[in-house]
Amino acid sequence: MALLQISEPGQSAAPHQHHLAAGIDLGTTNSLIATVRSGVAETLADHQGTHILPSVVRYRIAGEPPIVGTAALAASIEDPLNTLASVKRIIGKSAEELSSIPGQYPYQFAESDSAVPKIETIAGAVTPIEVSAEILSVLQQRAVESMGGELEGVVVTVPAYFDDAQRQATKDAAKLAGLHVLRLLNEPTAAAVAYGLDSQPEGIHAIYDFGGGTFDISILRLTKGVFEVLSTGGDAVLGGDDMDHQLAQWMGQQMGIDQPLEENPSQLKYLLSEARRAKEQLSTAAEISLHLKFGAFDWQGLFSLQQLNQLIEPVVQRTLRIVRRALRDANIEKDEVSEVVLVGGSTRVPLVAQQVEAFFGRAPLQGIDPERVVAVGAAIQADILVGNKKDGELLLLDVTPLSLGLEIMGGMSEVVIPRNTTIPVARAQDFTTFKDGQTAMSLHVLQGEREMVEDNRSLARFELRGIPPMVAGAARIRVTFQVDADGLLSVSAREEVSGVQAEIEVRPSYGLSDGEVEGMLKDSYRFAESDRDARMLREQQVEASRTIEAMEAALDKDGEELLNAAELGKLMQMIEELREMRSSEDSRAIEKKIEQVNSESEFYAARRMDQSVQQALSGKSVEEISP
């Protein structure tokens, strides 16, 4: 009789089968793809041996496929309106938001019926998701050719401060490219994995990620091989591009260009290209010679590292302000940080490394190419998730960047998941009805740190219907918030007695506007005291409305039966006084008036209780009511 085979522990029936997976750094300026081969994570090159793929797509006439990468970048000056770069800065944002940000986007936006912006090209209007998908498709094809087979899954990195809409848009782009996303991974966390900080002694690490279009800071704690993100901070529209724009403006002034650079897209792209070239040269030189010529404008002269530092220092200081806030959020002092890791091409600029070292008081880690480190870390995580390293699994715990909650009566925000909560996470909270006989509930999902709804960001709205009619406050509706490992949110509501439920997957069509995340956090500190006072006032106003409604309902039912004219008149007068007091701005005065109404109506409540007891006992014998 043949023996039945049993596989090795933790292995498949083909124990040495290697699953094909990759990590992708979808960057603002450049993108890369990496994989783990023979236990080593490495980035993959194209046919020319180039690892970095410029995140640039040039569209051509209908029927001709777009050009992606280096060739597209070379055409950006001669064909600026059809050559799209830095789309990561606008992915997940609305057309309305982009229209309010002058000068940063040299595109022609098309009219759109939806909130998703579309960019006009010779091949037709395209969305940032479609542009990103073109870049991802080229990376996927590079991996298939290098690895000799189709990918089973990928880990795609995103800035730690990408909001829900931006993360979802990134996943949509990967899906459009035909990729199976195993997970979205925060870029700073990927960098920590690449440096092998998980194998070091326990400690706290700061990951300073300054890319072409985004900045992120993550404070990580390593405990027994588990990365926990203590806090994150960042700006989705702050990066090396901002340095380039500062330098391009200076170049334009030297050339004698008077009109705004944005009015001439070819001119702007020429100057941005020259600015990047100068910035890169000054990473290894103290002074360079510039010769700028565009049309009738011609200028040449010397440009020093000191001049560059003066132009870009405000940009670097913006990053350090975000770092300070992230440390404060993590309740960590600078000297408690064990290692500082520099990530992103913008950290090649000497001033960046100098200021980070001065801030933390220690030299940062720079051993791995800062432009490759994120893709390498993503590849290591993809190798684990696809099943190649089951016994050595690395656990990564990210956090929610902003608080999530619901609107409650009075226009107030009730937090269900506080910001910097480790994800994935599920939190439930019970809510109830406001009015007698209420059979439906409107649920408004919010994101932000302020007490009042109007000061936070609206994520989604949905309704729960079919609630059994009950007296106000009797229903129990359990609302559950779930944030998955990619930072995507779903909300469900269930009435506990009847079992009716409703749910929504929060997929907003646009993200936060420029500086909104930073502004929301700053406002939460600046207005903390006034927000508290406003919430106290609104809570008392809601309680006053509840008291008025309950009293009026009771009096309509049996007031004339249980009260004489004087008693009824007194209670009605008190209700009117409370109604007038409700509109005041004095929360303590409203609270006192509510207490007075409750105190002076106790006799009426007692009579109602006696009447209810008598009605319940009417017609029953002593034996029937005896225990």
Q: Note the pLDDT tens digit of each residue in 304-343.
A: 999 999 999 999 999 999 999 999 988 999 999 988 999 8
The set of catalytic residues is 25, 88, 187, 209
Strand partners, 339: 205
**Arithmetic mean of pLDDT, 50-59:** 93
Of 142, 113, 128, which is closest to residue 176 (Cα–Cα)?
Answer: 128
Instruction: Please report the pLDDT score of residue 71 as a whole number.
Output: 92
401, 524 Cβ separation under 8 angstroms? no
- Confidence grade of residue 1 (pLDDT, cut at 50, 70, 90): very low
Q: At what angle do helices 240-255 and 305-330 cross, to 10 degrees?
A: 150
Judged against a pLDDT cut of 60, whether residue 507 lies above it is answered with: no
Instruction: Please report the pLDDT score of residue 529 as a whole number.
Output: 67
495, 466 Cβ separation under 8 angstroms? yes
Q: Which two tokens stand for residue 535?
A: 């919430």
Which residues have a Cβ under 8 Å from the Cβ of 9 and sit 6 or more positions away? Answer: none
- Confidence grade of residue 512 (pLDDT, cut at 50, 70, 90): very low
Report which of residues 579 and 114 the model is more confident about.
579
Which residues have a Cβ under 8 Å from the Cβ of 15 and sit 6 or more positions away? Answer: 7, 8
- Write the class of the CATH domain 529-617: mainly alpha
pLDDT in tens, 476-505: 888 888 887 667 788 888 888 788 888 877
pLDDT in tens, 228-265: 778 888 887 788 889 999 999 999 889 888 777 777 78
- Confidence grade of residue 39 (pLDDT, cut at 50, 70, 90): confident
Per-domain residue ranges of the chain? 21-239+312-398, 400-525, 529-617
What is the overall mean pLDDT for the chain? 81
Give the angle 471-474-477 at the CA atoms, nearest 5°: 125
- pTM, 2 dp: 0.58
In this structure, the number of other CB atoms found within 10 A of the CB of residue 612 comes to 10
Judged against a pLDDT cut of 80, whether residue 618 lies above it is answered with: no
| Domain 21-239+312-398 bears CATH identifier 3.30.420.40 | yes
Look up the CATH architecture of domain 400-525: Sandwich (2.60)
CA distance 176 to 130: 8
Q: What percent of the chain has pLDDT over 70?
A: 84
Q: Residue 218: what residue type?
A: S
CA distance 412 to 424: 26
Strand partners, 356: none
CA distance 429 to 440: 18
- Confidence grade of residue 56 (pLDDT, cut at 50, 70, 90): very high
Instruction: Please report the pLDDT score of residue 96 as a whole number.
Output: 67
Judged against a pLDDT cut of 70, whether residue 203 lies above it is answered with: yes
